[in-house]
Structure formats: structure tokens, C-alpha cells
Amino acid sequence: MTETTGFSWTPENEAAAQKHIAKYPEGRQQSAVMPLLDIAQRQNGGHLTIEIMEYIADYLDMAPIKVQEVATFYTMYNHKPMGKHHVQVCGTTPCWLRGSDDIIAACKSKLGIGMGETTADGQFTLSEVECAGACVNAPVVAINDDYYEDLTADSISNILDDLAAGKEVKPGPQVDRQTSAPVGGATTLKDFISEGEGA
Amino acid sequence: MPTLTIDGTEVTVEPGTTVLQACEEVGVEVPRFCYHERLSIAGNCRMCLVDMEKAPKPIASCAMPAGDGMVIHTNTERVKKAREGVMEFLLINHPLDCPICDQGGECDLQDQAMAFGRGHNRFDENKRAVEDKEMGPLISTTMTRCIHCMRCVRFSEEVAGVPDMGALYRGENMQITTYLEKTLDSEMSGNVVDLCPVGALTSKPYAFTARSWELKHTETIDVMDALGSNIRVDTRGAAVMRILPRLHEDINEEWISDKTRYVFDGLKARRIDTPYVRKSKKLTAATWAEAFKAIKSKLKGVKGDEIAAIVGDQADMESMAALKDLMASLGSTRIECRQDGSAADASVRSGYIMNSTIAGVEEADYLLLVGANPRLEAPVLNTRIRKAARHFGLKVGNIGNAEDLTYRVAEYGDDAAILKAVLDGSHEASAALKKAEKPMILVGQAALTGEQGAAVLKAARDIADKYCMREGWNGFNMLHNAAGRVGGLDLGLTAEGGVDGILDDAEAGKLKTVFLLGADEIDTSGLKGATVVYVGTHGDEGVKNADIILPSAAYTEKFGTYANTEGRFQRTSKAAFAPGEAREDWSIFRALSDVLGSTLPYDNITQLRARIAKDVPGFENIDVIQVAEWGDFGKQGDIASGGIAPAIENFYHTNPIARASQIMADCIDARGGLVEEATGTNG
């Protein structure tokens, strides 16, 4: 865990924090610790520090160790500096069966780093996560808040290239598919729908 | 009142009782690790599984409230299998290092593995290893042994009120630690060693020095503060190896303070083990006969009013009575037990004890502290107040230094003059006291020292008289810091002018001889001109200007009676022999009286106690609360506005034994380091 100095809310984040605290009854402000940690992590560029945790503990009037317990329990709180793009490859069974090993290999070779490492330019951090909950579109990679689905080694390589170049990237399925609908467009009840529409 | 059947025995229990407690009531043993009767229920070790009829699977009995008509079985095949399974899981990551573990022989895990576990383990993989944590000079850690029962975490948060322990990370990586691996900064931290059911948290000073089965246990009481916590002293030969708490629901429950627990190395260091006589300005070792002869020659021609005595904080009543009788035979009644100059008044017993009792704190609904810092002066009492404030709705107000007492306190300001406003009813505390069903006022020694001590005492007395008296409830309480103080006051050991008067008269040459019985909290430089006879245990302040030093026994080395701050008489037992030539204090005075020509009329401690019982009513009623009659005490006077200086500045150095203790010194060092660290990280 690393040090930062002088953390305090930006006005927008302070307002967001107060909105979360207001969800809970008077005196139960500690319940808002998780969203506040998330807001603070975003404000700090992707990771938490002891100082931030102490700031939040103070802000919510709770013991610092209680904040640290929460922040170390959940995997989505990071405790060391992260790259601008956090590449989170799902390696759980459905994605693995659909070729997540290839995706991981592609990421490693493209970025030149191993799991849990950050590229020298600070652009990418690579990590393997447990089930991302998008098994229908396996294999899946989450980069920051966006999901990239139905990937192949090529498509993830292209995405990483585009991100590195600062280009716009389209999240969601990387094949011809609307969200989790069948690949290549609707395949069922096509006739029925058109007949129905016709009649 | 639910009635349930446990292994065929029907039992009716209070509503809210858990199945585990109901099992205990009928004498059925249920193994457990995380459950502890004084902590909140966690239910995370799963060792207490029992069968409940109509339930699909075994239930955790510690967390299941007893219900009417429940049928519980604790001896079925399924329960046996469940216990074996849980035990096997717990042992998966637990190292088999019992031979090098300090907990060995008194380990819950070891015992329960023997009683309820399988013979062997089917786990072939590597065990996890966890880095040890630094928790300060008192607690040694071997975190690989931890089974995550969370007792220490719950204790520090709930009982100690210092929420600095926690569990970081999750699952297999979970680790118990103190925040940033700092010293657990509580006066009660040593209790986590007792709570830990395995060898993860053990006593650092005791580490690898003894095995539990080779120690002799002596049940006795503590003299580090005036509570008289019940303790067990474990000795090997003449050496005290460790001190553990003993259960006493009305005093210390099952906790003791760190000073009580870890002061034992001070019993070995800087001890006086032979008499000394000052010859041509140098103290030289002497025999008892030589020392007594020297006293006799010094006393020749000295009149009774030229002799005085000061009694220290840890003196037992037998010693004080013997000294008092010796003084009387020399023609002096000038003997003083209030070393700190407190204005406590010996004439009315209810005026210098805790009338509401320690356990009474749980019944009280309002407590006004006056110049008392229970956290430092009596940490165990402080946990009781915290418990009452947490669970029984006790409200606390404070007149005096604002300190972190671990519970919410309404701070009225550090000014003794507020008492006047409280008395005339214009202060918010008056309304709170009046409204309360069982109000308490707790007066600390800090408020009673100094010139206006007697006036403060009177004001506190009048406040109590006006607001704190209820049917069967006396809300006036005094908190003492000295274990021997109430006993001394019971024996009437107060002198006009107090300690300062004695010191001043000695300096002015009006006193020729001064006896000091373990008196080390005074500045003895004023006694240079007089002949000083010091009877005590340690080479501390008292010996600096002493002319004759007589070695005596410490509290673990004698049978003595102490009255705690509630006025409850309790007796210490001899756990070990005093070192070298040291003798029990009362027998020193008895022997000296023989040399001086008027032998004290008792040859053994039984006769001496019979003699004390004549003066002190209830002296033979050991461990009984004796209701003291209310009266008038203190002296009407002006109370000037001004702060109350704390009675204790350094919790770890309040008496000669603690000052001789290296462990106590380490505790201070650890906290000195902490202050610097805190400024470093908090900027």
C-alpha cells in the first residue's frame, strides 16, 4: 500500500458521497463505506491508500481498521497504482472453455507484462478475475467499467492497440450480435413475426 | 420461559438464552472456539454444532436461541461426525507445532482435538503460512496458528473499547492484525492472550519460560490498583512466572489490567534482600540483630511526638496495624496512610469507599466523574463502566480532564468549582443526577489533593446527599488508587497535617525518627535530617534517604488483608518466599518491638487478625460487601476555580514494583514510539 498526501473529496465527489450516506438512517452512515471507497478510488486514479482509508474512516466516524477490512476483503479495491486501463480477463470455467487462455496469452504478449503487472508507460494493468457474470458472451474482458465480449485473440489485440493509440473502442460483443441475442441476428420465430406483422 | 429437552433432560431457561447456554445449564458440554460468554456471538467456528429435531441439518448452538419445545441431541452419530468434520477443517491449516507452542497444555484446540477430533488428518496439501504480526511488548504472535475465531477482535472492540484489531483480506488469505501492526494501545490488552483459544496470541514476557503443568498455582488478589482484582499467581520454585485473572463477577469478571498481569518481573528486580544500616554516610549490609540494635540506639531519648510514620500504597492491614501498635508503644499516634495528600476522611467509612459497589455500576443510570480517570486509575472498573454505557444505558458526565475513556462522556469542564453549581442545582449535571433512578458520583483522588481537597470532598458529599440517595442505594463513591488505602483509613491512619506536615516537620527538625512502610510516592529529601527507618521491598524513592532499611515481603509473598475501594476485605496468599532475608512486614514490627522492650501482644497472624477485628468491624468477613452508614465528612470551604491535576500521569509506573519492571518500561517505550509514528503518518 502506497502513500499519497492530502486526499480530500472534490466538490462533485463530496456531493456523491453525501448522496450515498443519505440512503441510510441517521447514525448508520458507516453503511456507505463501500460506495465511498469506490468514489475515492476513482478520484485517486484507480487505487486506495492508507491515507484515503483513514480519510474515509474519519469521514464516516468509524475505526480505520474497519475500513481497511472492507477494502482488503473485496477484490475490486486496488491497493497499488493501476494503469490507465485495467484489463480484467475472466478466467472462470465458461470463459476458460471458450478460450480465455488464448485471450490471456494475447494480452500478455501484446502488453509484454504478466498477471498483476502494469506496463512501464502506465497505460495498462493486466489481471485475471473470477466470473464476470457475462458467461453467455464468453470469453469476456472487462476494461475499467466496460465489458468486451465474444473475444478472440485477434479482437482483444485490436482493442488493446486502439486503446493504446487513444482511439475510441466499441464495448460489448465484438461479433455480429446484439447484447446476448443470437449471433448473426434473430434465428427463431422469424417467420412467425413477419407473418404476424403481415397479417 | 422456553422449556426444551437436551439429551432427554428437560430444562426451562430464561428467554434469550442460547441452546449452548441451556446445554451448560444441564451440564452437557458443548465444544466451542469462537463463543465466549462475555463477547458478542459470532458463530464462525462451527464447533458447537448440535442436532435439533425437525431441523434438516445440525445447528450452531451458540447462535440459536432456545425455543419452547426444542429437542436437542448432543450425542448422536451425526453430531460426532459434524464435530470431527469441523475439527478436521480447523486443523487443515493449523501447524502441528504443539511441542514448541506456549499454549501447549492449556490449549482449547489441543484439548478439543483430543476429545472430539478424528485421530488423523486426510489433508495432504501444503498448509498456509501467515506472517507474524507485531502487537507490542506484551503479546507475542504466531499467526499461522490462528483459527479466526475473532475473539481478540471482538474483545478489543467491545470490552477494551479500542477498535484497533481486525481481519484483513479474505478466505484463505485472511489475517488477524492490529491496525498497521501497531501496539494494541489498551490497558487491558493482555486479556486477548487468555481469550485466544490457540497459541496464536501468547504472552511475550512469559514466552518459553515455563510449561503450564510445572507451575504451582496460588489464588490471591492484586494490589496494582484499589480494585483488588482476583488473580492466580503461577510460580516455579521461588519465581513468579506469570499472573492470570481469576473469576470474580463482582470485581474483575475475568479481566485484569496489563499492569496486574505483567508486573511480575518487577518482583525480581531491585529487591532489598537484606537489612542495611547507614554507617558513616554509606549503607552497609547488616544482620537483623544489627539493624534492630541500630534502631534502638537511634530511638534512645527520642520522645513520642518526635516520631512519625508514613504508610505506602501497597501495605496490607496486618502490617499497618502492627506498625500502628509499635508507634503507640513508642508514644506516637502520628501515622499517615494518604501518601498523595488526599483529603479522604477516616472518620466516616461511607465517605471513603465505593458505596454503590463495582457491580453496582451496571445498575446505575447516571455517573458523574469528579477528578477521576478510571481508565488509568482502575482499568477493570473502566471496562465495567463501558459495559454499562454500552448495554445498560448508563450516561456518564465528567468534571475534570477530558480523556478518552472509551465511551461517550459529557464533558463539563476541567474545573473543581463546577461542583458548587452542581450542588446549588444550576448545572445540567444536577438535573441528570436528580432524574436518575440510581445516580452515582465517583470522586477520584486527583480532586481531593491540594489545599481545597477537603472542601471538594464536602461538596461531593453534599451533592451525593442531595441527589444520589435512594432506597437501598448510596450513590457516593470514592475511587482509590492505592490498594492499601481503604485498609489504612479503616485503621484510622491519618494524622493532622497529613504527609506534608510530617515532611515539613522533619525538615524543620521537629521530628527525630520517621518510619516508612513501603512509602515511595513521596519526596523523601526533606527527611535527610531525621533518622529514617524504611521497611519495604524495592530500592526506590523510600530508601534514598533511609538510615536503616528492613527488607519485607511483596504482595505475592505474604498473607495479608486488603480492603478494596468498595471496602471489601480480601486476603492475599503466599505464592513464593520473599528473597533473602526479607520477612513479612508485620513480623518485622513484632520482632522490633521485642528489641525495643515492649513486645506487641501477638505471636502469629491469627492473633494479629483478632486484634485488628476489635478495631475494624467486619474485618473477618472476607469478600463481603458491608454497607456503611452515611454520615458527614469533608470540610466546608471555598473551591477556587481551576483544573484538576490527574492523579496518575504514567499508568505503567505507579508503584515501586511497576517501576522495577522491565516489561512496564517496555510498554512505555512502545507508546513513546507510537506518538512519534502517529505524527509522522497523520501529518
Q: Nearest-CA residue of chain A relative to B164? A: A65
Q: Which residues of A touch B (CB under 8 A)?
A: 5, 50-51, 54, 63-66, 68-69, 72-73
State the pLDDT confidence band at B579, using cuts at 50, 70 and 90.
very high
**Whole-number pLDDT of residue B677:** 38
Q: Which residue of A has its CA nearest to B162?
A: A63
C-alpha cell recorded at residue B11? 430444562
Residues of B in contact with A54 (CB under 8 A): 682
Q: How confident is the model at residue B674 (pLDDT cuts 50, 70, 90)?
A: very low
What pLDDT is recorded for position B119?
Answer: 85
B185 touching chain A per CB within 8 A: no
Confidence of residue B683 (pLDDT cuts 50, 70, 90): very low
* Mean predicted confidence (pLDDT) in B379-401: 96
Looking at residue B600, its pLDDT comes to 96
Question: B125 CB contacts (<8 Å, ≥6 apart)?
Answer: none
As a whole number, mean pLDDT of residues B555-567 equals 96
* Selected residue of A5, A65, A68, A74 to mutate for chain B interface (largest B Cβ count, 10 A): A65
What's the mean pLDDT in A125-131? Answer: 95
Chain-chain contact of A69 with B168 (C-beta, under 8 angstroms): yes
- Distance from C-alpha of B328 to C-alpha of B601, rounded to nearest angstrom: 13
d(CA B93, CA B167): 17
Q: What share of chain A is helix, strand, coil (3-state, %, to 5)?
A: 45, 10, 45
Please tell me the predicted confidence (pLDDT) of residue A23.
Answer: 96
- Per CB-CB distance under 8 Å, the chain A contacts of B179 are 63-65, 68
Q: What is the mean pLDDT of residues B622-628?
A: 94
Q: Is the pLDDT of residue B477 over 50?
A: yes
DSSP B373: -
Q: Which helix (H) or strand (E) holds B219?
A: strand B216-221
Residue A1 has pLDDT above 50, yes or no: no
CA distance B257 to chain A (A): 23
Domain range list for chain A:
11-73, 85-173
* Chain A residues lying within 8 Å of B180, measured CB to CB: 50
Q: Does B679 touch chain A (CB under 8 A)?
A: no
Strand blocks (E) in B552-664: 561-563, 569-571
Q: By the 8 A CB rule, do B563 and B486 touch?
A: yes
Q: How far is B178 from chain A (nearest CA, A)?
A: 8
Residues B7-43: pLDDT tens digits? 999 999 999 999 999 999 999 999 999 999 999 999 9
In angstroms, what separates the C-alpha of B335 from chain A's closest C-alpha?
A: 50
B673 touches chain A (CB under 8 A): no
Q: Rounded to the nearest 5°, which phi and psi values hold at A6?
A: 65, 45
Considering chain A, what is the average pLDDT of its residues? 91
Distance from CA of A72 to the nearest CA of B (A): 5
CB contact under 8 A, A50 and B157: no
CA distances to B266, B285, B563, B594, B655 from B257, in Å: 16, 36, 19, 41, 15
Reported as a single tens digit per residue, the pLDDT across B584-615 is: 999 999 999 999 999 999 999 999 999 999 99
Of A51, A54, A66, the CB nearest to B163: A66
With an 8 Å Cβ cutoff, is B179 touching chain A? yes
For residue A176, give how far its alpha carbon lies from the nearest alpha carbon of chain B (Å).
Answer: 40
Query: What is the average pLDDT value for chain B, to the nearest integer?
Result: 94
pLDDT at B680: 36
Using CA atoms, how far apart are residues B490 and B318, in angstroms rounded to an integer?
12
Please name every residue paired with B232 in a beta bridge, in sequence order, or none if there are none.
B219, B244
Contact at CB, B169 and A72, closer than 8 angstroms = yes
The CA distance from A89 to the nearest CA of chain B, in Å, is: 21
**CB within 8 Å: B168 and A64:** no
How far is C-alpha B2 from the geometric centre of its chain's CA atoms? Answer: 39
Q: What's the rounded mean pLDDT across residues A59-66?
A: 96
Tell me how far CA of residue B585 lies from CA of B307, B421, B557, in angstroms.
19, 46, 11
* Interchain pair B179, A64: CB under 8 A: yes
Spell out which residues of chain A touch residue B156, defining contact as CB-CB under 8 Å. Answer: none
Interface probe with B: pick from A5, A69, A70, most Cβ of B within 10 Å: A69
| pTM for the full predicted model | 0.92
By C-alpha distance, the chain A residue nearest B165 is A65
- B319 Cβ contact list (under 8 Å, min separation 6): B517, B535, B552, B560, B584, B585, B586, B589
B434-443: per-residue pLDDT in tens? 999 999 999 9
Q: Tell me whether B169 touches chain A (CB under 8 Å).
A: yes
Q: What is the model's pLDDT at position A193?
A: 57
Q: Pick B168's closest partner by Cβ from A54, A63, A68.
A: A68
Does pLDDT of B676 surpass 50? no
Contacts of B163 in chain A (CB under 8 A): 63, 65-66
Residues in chain A with CB shorter than 8 Å from the CB of B168 are 68-69, 72-73
C-alpha cell at B48: 458447537
| Cβ distance of B166 and A50 shorter than 8 Å | no
CA atoms within 13 Å, Cβ hemisphere of A142: 15
Nearest to B64 by CA among B86, B48, B80: B48
Residue of B nearest to A2 (CA): B681
Superfamily covering domain A85-173 = Glutaredoxin (3.40.30.10)
For residue A3, pLDDT over 70 is answered with: no
Kindly tell me if the per-residue pLDDT of B120 is higher than 70: yes
Cell 445498575 found at: B363
Residues 128-157 of B with CB under 8 A from A: 157
CB contacts of B169 in chain A (<8 Å) are: 72-73
Q: Rounded mean pLDDT of B317-336?
A: 96
For A52, which residue in chain B has the nearest alpha carbon?
Answer: B682
The 3 state secondary structure assigned to B26-91 is CCCCCCCCCCCCCCCCCCCCCCCEEEECCCCCCEECCCCECCCCCEEECCCHHHHHHHHHHHHHHH
Q: Which of B661, B572, B566, B663 is nearest to B252 (CA)?
A: B566
Q: Which residues of B touch A5 (CB under 8 A)?
A: 683
Architecture of the domain defined by A11-73: Orthogonal Bundle (1.10)
- Average pLDDT (B265-271) is 95
Grid cell of B65 as nine digits: 436461541
Which strand (E) or helix (H) includes residue B486?
Answer: helix B485-490
In sequence order, what are the residues at sequence separation of 6 or more whose Cβ sits closer than 8 angstroms to the Cβ of residue B376?
Answer: B187, B403, B646, B648, B651
B179, B681, B682 ranked by CB distance to A65: nearest: B179
